[in-house]
Amino acid sequence: MTELAPSRSDIDTKLRAILRDVLGLDAERVERFDGDTGLFGHLPELDSMAVAGLLTEMEDRLDIIIEDDDVDGEMLETYGGLLAFAEAKVVEN
Amino acid sequence: MRVLVLPALFDEANKLRRLTVEVMQRLDGAGIDSVLPDLPGCNESRQPLEAQSLDHWRQCAAAAAAHFSATHVLTLRGGVLAAPPEMPGWNYAPVAGRQVLRAMLRARTIAAREAGRDETIEALQQTGRSEGVELAGWPLGPDLFAQLESAAPQPDAAQVEIDQGAIGGGALWLRAEPDESPEQADALAAAIATGLAPA
């Protein structure tokens, strides 16, 4: 039996949970993130080490591999960009 | 009974500093001694980090266990990699050396890209193995780098794994800013105290 690919909302939920853990924000605040919410370069606590932890955690929880070349400013700049990237990676797998 | 505490490595040690100390305070309250040595080259150690190796850390952890007459070991995250495998105890959220390095390599490439330099993880790995490399402010020598790449928690070690799910809450080593959690410290200390209680 083939396992169904995780749905978009499932990826969205997991990604919000990871951001909640990384940023130490409450669920309600992360729930209000929309596609335009700024991340890297907008949130001072999200420095390169925190982003590295975020990407490594995304690999674990979404079961994806993120390559060197995948990481660019665009995918990290907004929540929408990061979600679109995560969805594309999950499909690719 | 005395517990040797082997801290998390590098940046994760900072993130887990408060949790580590809070667990020790709770163990003390429960009548359980614990000691927290610095690994050579880390925290307040006066040894240069770039001269370290994982083999040396293992020897030092074993020497510390003997010196303090520790009966058990508690490792946090990457601390597991230095633990004497035959010592009973606990591994909190153990992690392989490769994963520790991956996050640090990534942090360096992201910072480089922001600064307009192009660095690849692969090239940094090669430099790390041959001459050592500074990652996220930590100067890692070639011995430590190469040994971390292949080091993993040993499945036949005498220690019990405690994963984050058993503790509850968000993992503090992931936090962008160091934080604390009295609830998580309670849960981790309780797991250890329960493990030490006579059956």
> Can you spell out the DSSP letters for chain B?
-EEEEEPPPTHHHHHTHHHHHHHHHHHHHTT-EEE-PPPTTSTT--S-GGG--HHHHHHHHHHHHHHTT-SEEEEEGGGGGGS-TTS-EEEES---HHHHHHHHHHHHHHHHHHTT----HHHHHHHHHHT-EEETTEEE-HHHHHHHHH----TTSSEEEE-HHHH-S--GGG-SS----HHHHHHHHHHHHHHHS--
Instruction: Give Rg (Cα) of chain B.
Output: 17
Helix (H, G, I), strand (E, B) or coil at A38: strand
> Residue B17 is part of a domain; what is its CATH number?
3.40.50
Q: Are residues B101 and B37 in the same domain?
A: no
Q: What is the mean pLDDT of chain B?
A: 96
Look at B176 and A46 and tell me if their CB atoms are within 8 Å.
yes
Beta carbons within 8 Å of A49's beta carbon, 6+ residues apart: B11, B103, B104, B107, B136, B176
**Reported confidence tier of residue A3, pLDDT bands at 50, 70, 90:** low
DSSP state of A28: H
Residues B81, B10 within the same domain: yes
> Are residues B32 and B121 located together in one domain of the fold?
no
Residue A47 — very low, low, confident or very high, per pLDDT cuts 50/70/90? Answer: confident
Residues of chain B found within 8 Å of residue A50, distances taken between Cβ atoms: 176
Looking at beta carbons, which residues of chain A come within 8 Å of B175? 21-24
Residue to substitute from A20, A60, A68, interface B, most B β-carbons within 10 A: A68
Residue of B nearest to A44 (CA): B176
pLDDT exceeds 70 at position B119: yes
In chain A, which residue's Cα lies nearest the Cα of B181? A24
Q: Which band of pLDDT confidence, cut at 50, 70 and 90, is reported for residue A24?
A: confident
Contacts of B14 (CB under 8 A, 6+ apart): B178
ipTM of the complex: 0.81
Q: What is the pLDDT of residue B23?
A: 98
- Contact at CB, A24 and B179, closer than 8 angstroms: yes
> How far is the C-alpha of B81 from the C-alpha of B154, rounded, in Å?
8
- CB pair distance less than 8 Å for B121 and A68: yes
Say what the pLDDT of residue A27 is.
86
- Can you tell me whether residue A78 is helix, strand or coil? strand
Mean pLDDT in residue range B9-32:
97
pLDDT of residue B153: 95
Long-range pairs for B111-118: beta carbons < 8 A, 24 or more residues apart:
B111/A48, B113/A71, B113/A72, B113/A73, B114/A48, B114/A73
Distance in angstroms (rounded) separating the CA atoms of residues A93 and B76: 32
| Ramachandran category for residue A18: left, alpha or beta (phi over 0 → left; psi -120 to 50 → alpha) | alpha
Give the Cα separation of A59 and A45 in Å (integer). 21
Q: Which residue in A53, A50, A42, A48 sits closest to A81, CA to CA? A: A42
Tell whether B103 and B199 lie within a shared domain: no
Q: Could you read off the pLDDT of B34-68 as tens digits, one per residue?
A: 999 999 999 999 999 999 999 999 999 999 999 99
Give Cα A4 to chain centroid, integer Å.
Answer: 21
pLDDT at B199: 62
Domain boundaries, position B26: 1-95+154-199
Considering the domain architecture, whether residues B100 and B40 belong to the same structural domain is answered as no
C-alpha span between B76 and B92 (Å, rounded): 5
What residues of B are in the A interface, CB distance below 8 Å? Answer: 11, 99, 102-111, 113-114, 120-122, 136, 170-171, 173-177, 179
If asked whether residues B113 and B29 sit together in one domain, one would say no
List, for residues B133-176, the tens digit of each pLDDT value: 999 999 999 999 999 999 999 989 999 999 999 999 999 999 99
Same domain, B121 and B57: no
Q: Give yes or no: residues B76 and B172 share one domain.
A: yes
Same domain, B25 and B40: yes
Are B84 and B113 in the same domain? no
| Overall domain count for chain B | 2
Confidence of residue A5 (pLDDT cuts 50, 70, 90): low
Residues of B in contact with A52 (CB under 8 A): 102-107, 110, 136
Whole-angstrom distance between the N-terminal and C-terminal Cα of chain B? 15
Same domain, B53 and B135: no
Residue A41 predicted with pLDDT over 90: no
Substitution target from B105, B106, B179 for chain A, most A beta carbons within 10 A:
B106
CA distance A61 to A14: 7
B168 and B144 inside one domain: no
Query: For residue A50, which of B174, B178, B17 has the smallest C-alpha distance?
Result: B174
Residue B198: pLDDT over 70: yes
- The CATH code belonging to domain A8-92 is 1.10.1200.10
Whether A56 and B102 have beta carbons less than 8 Å apart is answered as yes
